[in-house]
Amino acid sequence: MTHVKNICCIGAGYVGGPTCAVIAYKCPDIKVTIVDVNAIRIAAWNSGRLPIYEPGLDEIVFARRNKNLFFSTEVEKAVNEADLIFVSVNTPTKKTGVGAGYAADLAYVESATRGIADVAKSSKIVVEKSTVPCRTAESMRTILEANSSDDIRFDILSNPEFLAEGTAINDLLYPDRVLIGALQTPEGLNAQKALVEVYAHWVPTERIITTNLWSSELSKLAANALLAQRISSVNALSAICEATGADIDEVAYACGRDARIGPKFLKASVGFGGSCFQKDILNLVYLSEQLNLPEVAAYWKQVVDLNEYQKKRFVSRIIKTLFNTITNKRIALLGFAFKKDTGDTRESAAITLCKNFIQENAKVRIYDPKVSSEQIYMDLSEPGIVDNTEEVKKHITITSSAYEAADNTDAIVIATEWDEFKTLDYEKIYDRMNKPAFIFDGRLILDASKLQNIGFRVHTIGRAA
Ligand code: NAD
Ligand code: UGA
């Protein structure tokens, strides 16, 4: 059986970085090198300020860096030295061409695979870590085999990642499960065993699930679709709550107490964000269409449509409440990240809110504890959002505290559930706002009755005003 001694991870992003740092931390006998074509990102991984914010990540990286954990741009060298290679590159939704707007862009996976085929001088286990459509491993195998010689073999495994941002380190240290799919051949099963042995350094073996390759690939898309579906379900119910006087937190709690339903992922919100839920569901929709399963495609598509509806609904409620116009009104937007405890803004609901506020000519003052001004300007200047940095700058001010953001505004909008927003001095904030002072809680984190006692007019997702 192969015993893995040297791991290379292609892609030093939100997944490759934390995942392989934890492997290095838990497996001091294995050398781990994380490589990326992005030299700035690699320099940051080698510096005192890591390129991503994730609680607990610094400690793990600083404990192992330059011992058995290395970050490098020398892709070729690291690939050659490794006996197991994770492919952890981005798989965004295609923007143009066949499948645009739905299919995953597999160009980065293919280029990493070709890179391995071009330089490998010994046999490798190649592991799909990126989230990919079902049967991608087949294309990878075809490319690798077409380029292999008699004395070099490539075995492909699927080992999708289930970490969530903000809790990545905890998720990696104590995973609910690790999933490893392999071809059901003696060589495939041998490779699977080698990767099981790596995880078994810290993951109890009953939590390591082994399956065939295609089940593993599909399980990743399925898990994200099921999680997002719960959020869209609860968000659909939140609209009924607002119209009836039922309270979505009470409904979610009552439903979640049923052991068959369970309490997690039932928090209503302004809409889910993040780099993966939407992309992976659209990917599943595309796959279903390709398989000539239009009813299945329509079923999953509705999860994304409902999410768009939820954001639109929240914006409409804000405009309607602010006397049907927000032109030249000042709005404090608290939170820009797609969830708390991360600086990641990909597909954040806050971006859609800002886009709509700018279209309505409002003046928006944004505060987020972890997102930089540059990132906010960049996100809002994207084509399809505002597409014009000057226009963005005319409407947006970035502040360094929630208090500064709220100064002289007409309304506060909570877009991200950062803990610090729960304990702000709202009396002080109220005094410095225009009256009537409104709060729109898109995350159900504030005590509405306390705020009403101060004088605020409070509107919460999933509750009647
Ligand atoms: P990311 O964009 O943060 O990182 C990907 C990195 O790969 C980039 O730094 C890019 O420069 C690098 N890269 C691309 N092609 C390369 C090549 N040929 N050689 C070397 N480097 C290359 O992406 P991410 O968030 O880490 O996601 C990676 C994959 O993991 C995606 O498929 C995603 O769906 C999946 N995933 C993400 C999360 C998450 O929380 N972000 C969780 C689970 C799974
Ligand atoms: C999600 C999954 O939870 C991970 O298992 C998966 O590995 C990852 O996607 C991925 O494939 O990228 P992530 O997007 O990092 O992780 O974060 P989540 O905690 O799932 O939150 C996603 C979005 O849903 C956030 O905007 C969050 O605020 C929102 N959300 C979450 C709700 O609105 N309500 C909830 O009850 C839970």
> What is the C-alpha separation between 103 and 290, in angstroms, rounded?
10
Q: Among 54, 227, 237, 281, which residue has the most ligand 2 atoms within 8 Å of its CB, making it the best to mutate?
A: 227
Expressed in angstroms and rounded, the spacing between residue 96 Cα and the centre of ligand 1 is: 20
ipTM here: 0.98
Percent of the chain scoring above 90 in pLDDT: 96
Ligand 1 in reach of 75 Cβ (< 6 A): yes
What mean pLDDT value characterizes the chain?
Answer: 96
pLDDT tens digits for range 127-140: 999 999 999 999 99
Return the HEC string of the chain: CCCCCEEEEECCCCCHHHHHHHHHHHCCCCEEEEECCCHHHHHHHCCCCCCCCCCCHHHHHHHHECCCEEEECCHHHHHHHCCEEEECCCCCECCCCCCCCCCECCHHHHHHHHHHHHHCCCCEEEEECCCCCCCHHHHHHHHHHHCCCCCCCEEEEECCCCCCCCCHHHHHHCCCCEEEEECCCHHHHHHHHHHHHHHCCCCCHHHEEEEEHHHHHHHHHHHHHHHHHHHHHHHHHHHHHHHHCCCHHHHHHHHHCCCCCCCCCCCCCCCCCCCCHHHHHHHHHHHHHHCCCHHHHHHHHHHHHHHHHHHHHHHHHHHHHCCCCCCCCEEEEECCCCCCCCCCCCCCHHHHHHHHHHHCCCEEEEECCCCCHHHHHHHHHCCCCCCCHHHHHHHEEECCCHHHHHCCCCEEEECCCCHHHHCCCHHHHHHCCCCCCEEEECCCCCCHHHHHHHCCEEEECCCCC
> What is the C-alpha separation between 288 and 302, in angstroms, rounded?
14
Ligand nearest the Cα of residue 105 is 1
pLDDT at 147: 82
Residue 445's pLDDT band, with cuts at 50, 70 and 90, is very high
Q: Is there a catalytic annotation at residue 276?
A: yes
In this prediction the pTM is 0.96
CA-nearest of 230, 319, 217 to 277 is 230
What is the arithmetic mean of pLDDT over 298-305?
Answer: 98
Apex CA 21: angle with CA 15 and CA 23, to 5°? 100
Question: Relative to the CA of 275, which ligand 1 atom is closest?
Answer: 41
Question: Relative to the CA of 220, which ligand 2 atom is closest?
Answer: 11
pLDDT at 419: 98
pLDDT at 388: 83
> What is the C-alpha separation between 98 and 51, in angstroms, rounded?
33
Q: Does residue 149 surpass a pLDDT of 90?
A: no
User: Which segments are annotated as binding site for substrate?
Assistant: 161-165, 220-224, 260, 267-273, 338-339, 443
Ligand 1 in reach of 276 Cβ (< 6 A): yes
Residue 93's pLDDT band, with cuts at 50, 70 and 90, is very high
Residue 343's pLDDT band, with cuts at 50, 70 and 90, is very high
Ligand 1 in reach of 11 Cβ (< 6 A): yes
Ligand nearest the Cα of residue 163 is 2
Q: Quick one: residue 324, left, alpha or beta (phi over 0 = left, psi -120 to 50 = alpha)?
A: left
> What is the C-alpha separation between 224 and 271, in angstroms, rounded?
15
Question: Relative to the CA of 89, which ligand 1 atom is closest?
Answer: 7
Residue 1's pLDDT band, with cuts at 50, 70 and 90, is confident
Q: Among 163, 264, 277, 348, which residue has the most ligand 2 atoms within 8 Å of its CB, making it the best to mutate?
A: 277
pLDDT at 148: 80
Catalytic entry in 9, 20, 276, 354:
276
Nearest CA to ligand 2 atom 18: 164
Ligand 1 in reach of 2 Cβ (< 6 A): no
Cβ pair 141, 154 in contact under 8 A? yes
